[in-house]
Structure 1
């Protein structure tokens, strides 16, 4: 079970202002290049698991936000919190859930 504070942060992040169009493009480039280097392009898996919408369907937004922000101990998944705000991470999670971002 995820901590209540994390669920509150996810809710706040999803309701927050969207990144600027320029930052959105930078975030998509990050998904393609940085995330894609481990998760593949398209992100069907590689060193890291698939990031395709169907592979994420059973994962909550809170779980994905936490993994992206904090990384995953014992794996190659690094924490991204020093590079991505919670709002940007929530925006990325929403993009990952859509087919068209690729």
Structure 2
């Protein structure tokens, strides 16, 4: 096999691995996480994140945390409150995606 062909094949095989290594989530998983946010988290924080049993989650409040701090809160929950930890269901990468979504793509801004 000529060198350029081998190089192209190597790059094609390497791309999916690189996507996983850089922390990318599939579009399908991102959609699942967004649904989780508005359905499961929304059961306490309100379906539009305007509050309910749990507090409202506007951008201004979410940006009071670092992305890593907010991801840790998602994974570990808040002791003494109804906020559970999601570490058993979400990876660190997924929690960071949710934190980023809440801080940047959140439609609620007070």
Output the TM-score relative to the length of structure 2.
Answer: 0.71
Whether 1:26 and 2:26 are equivalent positions in the alignment is no
**Bigger share in helix:** 2
Secondary structure of the residue aligned to 1:87 is: helix
Residue-pair matches, total? 88
Structure 1 unaligned runs (5+)? Answer: 1-14
Whether 1:79 and 2:65 are equivalent positions in the alignment is no
Output the TM-score relative to the length of structure 1.
Answer: 0.76
Q: Distance in 2 between matches of 1:69 and 1:99?
A: 20
**Segments ≥4 residues shifted beyond 2 Å:** 98-102
Structure 2 unaligned runs (5+)? Answer: 1-20
* 1:59–1:67 distance in 2 versus 1, CA, 3 Å: same
Rg comparison, structure with higher value: 2
